[in-house]
A and B are shown apart, each in its own frame.
Chain A
Amino acid sequence: MTKLITDVVCPFCGTLCDDLEVVVSDDGKELLEVNNACAIGAEKFLHSQAKDRLTRPRMRNEDGSWREVSYDEAAEFTAQMLAKSKKPLMYGWSSTNCESQVVGSHVAELVGGQLDNTATVCHGSTLIAVQDVGVPSCTLGEIKNRADMVVFWGCNPAHAHPRHMSRYSLFPRGFFTAKGHRGRTAVVVDPRPTDSANLADIYLPVEQGRDYELLSALRVAFRNEQLPDVVAGISKEKIYEVAEKMKNARFGCIFFGMGVTHSLSNNHNIDIAIQVTRDLNEFTKWSIMPMRGHYNVTGAGEVWGWQFGFPFCVDLSRGFARYNPGESSSNDLLMREEIDSVFVLGSDPGAHFPFSSVKKMNALPCVVVDPHITPSTVVADLHVPVAFVGVEVGGCAYRMDSVPIESHKVVDAPEGMLTDEEFLKLVLARVKEIKGV
């Protein structure tokens, strides 16, 4: 007999779908089937079933080969490394639960760590823009129930957040939106004609890196002022048309992704996108929302918010929290060689940081906590495999609209494996001993 588990939360992307159904073997050890998830979500679950998975920590020998060590030895090495460092970088935290983030924050506080999460290379610019101008936003259910117009700007949900459009933004029928997608106007702004653009009523192929101009042009159009014939590759007629539609919508939302956060102007793009939204609220109701990537990158920002007051780039080395992106951000710290050890949990900087940063990591004492073998584990001195959060252990995660959802355990982790939280608790206890607190 197999068992069907319902209401399972997908721990892959910021869409955090919570309606998955998983079939497991009778003994709860094997995960057989995943329903309702998109292809990437399903793969995340099924991946945990790999037979050749690492189940014990491994330490690198002098000659580069690995030897298996116990979790206690791994915690001892990690605690010693962190406690001895002046400025340990503690990076990642986006693919783990808030429980682990809380324990990790405490460790970081005791060792004067540099806490950073993956926002540093994705929506960090959004967080900075919000600090400049605020953000009118809402939960995803507001879009589902009220929105008659949605704009996808510099993002491609069809691939990156595959169920976003069907669950929340384009297709669903809600309380005031009984017609579903037939009652919604969808606009896609992207230099590339993506699969999301194919679904749009209006597609604006903005010139690469010219988002700021196009957003400015919309603000001009809202005020019925004069525009040049073409702005950012889009004709003024088109801009006036879209601006008029936006003003006349009943409820609208702009979703934006890394096409805007990481093109020229960075946070200034988001500043003005938020100003566009603010302008629109003079006429009707509009929201704006970042398409957050990792399933719990938002949670990392929330946890550090209530613990330290800053969502990323938190420098604890002086005994209190400081924040200065550009200075206290991971890559800047690595490039300036201010870091004397690296601890990674819940992300893969080896795959996402510039190669020059990864080289610096390679030269430093480095611990990586990750269920997988990744480009980051390649530069690690100690690799600690752990249970999959959201599959083999539950815990709280924050969706892209900051709604907290509790993920569930659906199968057992391989015998004897620890979770992120358990491993961090070992490290915390040991750090407390070393520091005498």
Chain B
Amino acid sequence: MAEYIIKNGFVVDPTQGINCEKMDVAVKDGKIVDASEVMGAKVIDASGKLVMAGAVDVHSHSAGPKVNVGRNLRPEEKLNCYNPAKGAKRMEAGFSVPTAISSGYIFSRMGYGFAMEAAMPPLYARHTHEEMRDTPIVDEAALPVFGNNWFVMEYLKNNEIENTASYISWLLKVTKGYGIKCVNPGGSEAWGWGMNCLTIDDPVPFFDVTPKQIITGLIEANEYLRLPHSMHLHTNSLGEPGNYQITIDSLKCAEGIKADNDFGREQVLHHTHLQFHSYGGDSYSSKSFESRSKEVMDYFNSTDNLTFDIGQVTLDETTTMTADGPFEYHLSHMNNLKWVNKDVELETCAGVVPFIYNPNSFIGVAQWAIGLELALQCKDMTKCYLTSDAPNAGPLCRYPRVMKWLMSLKSRDEILDACKYGESVRRQCYIGEFDRELTLYELAQMNRQGAARMLGLSNMFGSLKPGMEGDVVVYPLNPESDLDDGEKIEHAFGNAEYFIKKGELIINDSEIISNGSKRTFWVNAGKELTPQVERDVSERFKKYYTVTRNNYEVKEHHYVPNEYMIEVNAA
């Protein structure tokens, strides 16, 4: 394997307290090594450029059934958004829902080495893995959804944590999943009858369990299994004016629970796309709707066992997709565009609706402001991550634009000054109060150090310490001269000049020259099925599923050809 030395760049690596120091970074045999350890390595001249570890995306949707529905649903997206094949690089297409092949390239150009597919319906695990397998370069994993699963709801109704954990361990194994995702707890099952659960105390129809019991129980089961990642939650009432109290109520479910794992993870609950859950007011009208990010962040900053990602709205036309089926139905009534719904037996549901976050509307810009506010109020940037819940609040390729907004007050003001409702957004949100501009160091805390740690992957990713994965990126950004230019920031973070992934040169001189050797990560929690769960699983497959139990399991050989299994030992 080739050796590389990246010379003279401005290195930013908070795991070592390195903040824009000029130094060399070396890669050998797929790992970071001390610069003295390479001889005759290929030299990459990074003078005047920024060098960072590969970034980690904690929450986006780029593989799986609803993503593919989004692609096939929207031929119009490909009309002006394609990129022909060139050399090793294959054809690309799509904007908000790029093809799998294109997703891998977008991640690479942004310098991302690992990405989490944030919602995998277990019955469709095979599909998710087929897409991840065909997504080049970037290492991936997927979180199966549990919050509306019939087994889980039955066990948690009676507070049976051991049975819940036993079932989860089994499901992670058969679906090759990474951790516990919970979307609209109870609400997606209620949607099977066209209903919903709006607060954490609304009982799930016929199951006699509340979202609160589901959230608390899943957190406990997660710690019981000592998984690398924590419970990963999308709370009830996403997108509803006035929902911030439900968000805080949900976060409170984690009170008093301590993380238990061998992976360096400190949080027991990750709240995803928090922006959609920090609203005040009682309607979407510009007179009523307001930001409650301060209240949410006040609570958040006072805790030490929570993390969140922002779910930044990027003011684009995009394609929304979520296992929150009732929300997508609701959304389809707001814009009357095409609507896809898909309910999945015993497990979950999903919806897909195209959406335009209109910079000329009050609500679009208010949502944009609230996402940024969350990050700008966060005290510990290793607990806050940059996401756009791609493609829900905005396409994946817009991450660099979000970085620009976080790092440049001027760029934020430009938006508020240019749009029609800028003043009312300043009035009804907190955005105008903050002149904070995130630094490169804080950015690296978010998307590298913190993101890797919260996923339980800090021993591999997010750092340039010797021994870490050989994921290094060189951005065309000079920290000494370019940081006051928002456009330069945005361009740099979307156009890596060099990207080394697992020791292999993927982007050379801004061109993709290899499809890498991507891996799929999954977690083997190793807990045997309890007799009760064994009996339930075998009975329910016979009676209620439409595939047999033996045909449910995703076999590694084809779907996960390049697997990276993480073994866990429950206490």
Interface residues of A (CB under 8 A from B): 6-7, 9, 18-19, 98-99, 102, 109, 127, 130-142, 144-146, 167-168, 173-176, 250-251, 278, 281, 284-285, 287, 301-303, 305-311, 316, 318-321, 323, 395-396, 398, 402-406, 437
Residues in chain A near residue B97, CB distance under 8 A: 309
With contacts A137-B342, A319-B85, A403-B123 taken as known, whether A305 is within 8 angstroms of B91 at the C-beta atoms is: no
Q: Mark B97-112, 1 if CB is under 8 A from A, else 0.
A: 1011100000000000
The 4 closest A-B CB pairs, nearest first, are A141-B345, A134-B338, A138-B343, A319-B84
Q: Is the CB of A284 within 8 A of B340?
A: no
Q: Is the CB of B340 within 8 A of A134?
A: yes
Q: Is the CB of B340 within 8 A of A321?
A: no
Residues in chain B near residue A146, CB distance under 8 A: 192-193
In angstroms, Cα B558 to Cα A310, docked, is 24
Of all chain B residues, the one with the shortest Cβ separation from A137 is B342
Q: Is the CB of A98 within 8 A of B339?
A: no
Q: Is the CB of A251 within 8 A of B78?
A: no
Is B72 an interface position by the 8 A CB rule?
yes
Q: Is the CB of B343 within 8 A of A287?
A: yes
- The answer, among B73, B346, B551, for a CB contact under 8 Å with A141, is B346
In angstroms, Cα B83 to Cα A102, docked, is 20
Is B356 an interface position by the 8 A CB rule?
no
Of all chain A residues, the one with the shortest Cβ separation from B342 is A137
Q: Is the CB of B338 within 8 A of A321?
A: no
Interface stretch of the complex, out of B125-133, B251-259, B362-370, B527-535:
B125-133
Residues in chain A near residue B99, CB distance under 8 A: 306-309
- Closest chain-A Cβ to B395's Cβ sits at a distance in Å of 14
- Closest chain-A Cβ to B337's Cβ sits at a distance in Å of 8
Is B199 an interface position by the 8 A CB rule?
no
With contacts A109-B90, A302-B68, A405-B551 taken as known, whether A139 is within 8 angstroms of B343 at the C-beta atoms is: yes
B residues 340-360 touching A (CB-CB < 8 Å): 340-346, 349, 352-353
- Closest chain-B Cβ to A146's Cβ sits at a distance in Å of 6
Of all chain B residues, the one with the shortest Cβ separation from A134 is B338
Residues in chain A near residue B349, CB distance under 8 A: 138
A-B contact pairs, 25 of them (CB 8 A): A6-B550, A130-B338, A134-B332, A134-B341, A137-B340, A140-B546, A141-B346, A146-B193, A173-B543, A174-B543, A174-B544, A175-B346, A284-B194, A307-B100, A307-B101, A308-B91, A308-B99, A309-B93, A309-B97, A310-B75, A321-B82, A321-B91, A396-B126, A406-B555, A437-B87
Q: Is the CB of A139 within 8 A of B78?
A: no
With contacts A131-B73, A323-B75 taken as known, whether A306 is within 8 angstroms of B344 at the C-beta atoms is: no
Beyond contacts A141-B346, A251-B193, A402-B124: 6 other A-B pairs, Cβ-Cβ < 8 A, are A134-B352, A142-B344, A144-B544, A176-B206, A323-B75, A403-B124
- The answer, among B72, B193, B332, B337, for a CB contact under 8 Å with A301, is B72
Is B65 an interface position by the 8 A CB rule?
yes
Residues in chain A near residue B93, CB distance under 8 A: 308-309, 320-321
Q: Mark B511-550, 1 if CB is under 8 A from A, else 0.
A: 0000000000000000000000000000000011111101
Q: Is the CB of A131 within 8 A of B546?
A: no
Q: Is the CB of A141 within 8 A of B546?
A: yes
With contacts A285-B194, A301-B72, A320-B84 taken as known, whether A133 is within 8 angstroms of B338 at the C-beta atoms is: yes
In angstroms, Cα B339 to Cα A7, docked, is 35
Residues in chain A near residue B548, CB distance under 8 A: 7, 18-19
Is B383 an interface position by the 8 A CB rule?
no
Residues in chain A near residue B342, CB distance under 8 A: 137-139, 402
Q: Is the CB of B91 within 8 A of A320?
A: yes
- The answer, among A127, A310, A404, for a CB contact under 8 Å with B130, is A404
- Closest chain-B Cβ to A52's Cβ sits at a distance in Å of 33
Is B487 an interface position by the 8 A CB rule?
no
Q: Is the CB of A145 within 8 A of B131?
A: no
With contacts A142-B343, A404-B127 taken as known, whether A167 is within 8 angstroms of B73 at the C-beta atoms is: no
- Closest chain-A Cβ to B555's Cβ sits at a distance in Å of 7
In angstroms, Cα B75 to Cα A154, docked, is 27
- Closest chain-A Cβ to B195's Cβ sits at a distance in Å of 9
Residues in chain B near residue A136, CB distance under 8 A: 339-341
Is B271 an interface position by the 8 A CB rule?
no
Q: Is the CB of B73 within 8 A of A134?
A: yes
With contacts A99-B558, A109-B91, A305-B71 taken as known, whether A321 is within 8 angstroms of B78 at the C-beta atoms is: yes
Q: Is the CB of A278 within 8 A of B343?
A: no
Of all chain A residues, the one with the shortest Cβ separation from B87 is A437
Residues in chain B near residue A320, CB distance under 8 A: 82-85, 91-93
Residues in chain B near residue A402, CB distance under 8 A: 65, 124, 127, 342
Q: Is the CB of B338 within 8 A of A132?
A: yes
Is B187 an interface position by the 8 A CB rule?
no
Of all chain A residues, the one with the shortest Cβ separation from B70 is A305
Q: Is the CB of B344 within 8 A of A138?
A: yes
Q: Is the CB of B72 within 8 A of A127?
A: yes
Of all chain A residues, the one with the shortest Cβ separation from B352 is A134
Is B329 an interface position by the 8 A CB rule?
yes
Residues in chain B near residue A138, CB distance under 8 A: 341-345, 349
Of all chain B residues, the one with the shortest Cβ separation from A18 is B551
Is B74 an interface position by the 8 A CB rule?
yes
In angstroms, Cα B546 to Cα A141, docked, is 5
Q: Is the CB of B91 within 8 A of A316?
A: yes
Is B94 an interface position by the 8 A CB rule?
yes
In angstroms, Cα B72 to Cα A309, docked, is 6
Most buried by B among A19, A301, A437: A19
Residues in chain A near residue B563, CB distance under 8 A: none
Of all chain A residues, the one with the shortest Cβ separation from B194 is A285
In angstroms, Cα B134 to Cα A24, docked, is 35
Is B77 an interface position by the 8 A CB rule?
yes
In angstroms, Cα B559 to Cα A7, docked, is 19
Of all chain A residues, the one with the shortest Cβ separation from B150 is A175
Residues in chain A near residue B193, CB distance under 8 A: 146, 250-251, 285
With contacts A18-B551, A133-B338 taken as known, whether A404 is within 8 angstroms of B126 at the C-beta atoms is: yes
Residues in chain B near residue A303, CB distance under 8 A: 130
In angstroms, Cα B352 to Cα A338, docked, is 36
Residues in chain B near residue A307, CB distance under 8 A: 99-101, 134
In angstroms, Cα B90 to Cα A137, docked, is 33
Residues in chain B near residue A6, CB distance under 8 A: 550
Of all chain B residues, the one with the shortest Cβ separation from A313 is B75
Of all chain A residues, the one with the shortest Cβ separation from B354 is A134
Q: Is the CB of B547 within 8 A of A403?
A: yes
Q: Is the CB of B192 within 8 A of A251?
A: yes
Q: Is the CB of B68 within 8 A of A306?
A: yes
In angstroms, Cα B67 to Cα A145, docked, is 26
Most buried by B among A19, A140, A305: A305
Of all chain B residues, the one with the shortest Cβ separation from A302 is B68
In angstroms, Cα B76 to Cα A132, docked, is 10
B residues 442-462 touching A (CB-CB < 8 Å): none
- The answer, among B78, B124, B338, for a CB contact under 8 Å with A323, is B78
- Closest chain-A Cβ to B333's Cβ sits at a distance in Å of 9
Residues in chain A near residue B329, CB distance under 8 A: 281
- Closest chain-A Cβ to B357's Cβ sits at a distance in Å of 19
- Closest chain-B Cβ to A100's Cβ sits at a distance in Å of 12
In angstroms, Cα B515 to Cα A370, docked, is 32
- Closest chain-A Cβ to B544's Cβ sits at a distance in Å of 5
- Closest chain-A Cβ to B339's Cβ sits at a distance in Å of 4
In angstroms, Cα B72 to Cα A272, docked, is 19
In angstroms, Cα B75 to Cα A133, docked, is 13
Residues in chain A near residue B87, CB distance under 8 A: 437
Q: Mark B474-503, 1 if CB is under 8 A from A, else 0.
A: 000000000000000000000000000000
Of all chain B residues, the one with the shortest Cβ separation from A321 is B93
Residues in chain B near residue A145, CB distance under 8 A: 345-346, 544
In angstroms, Cα B343 to Cα A281, docked, is 13
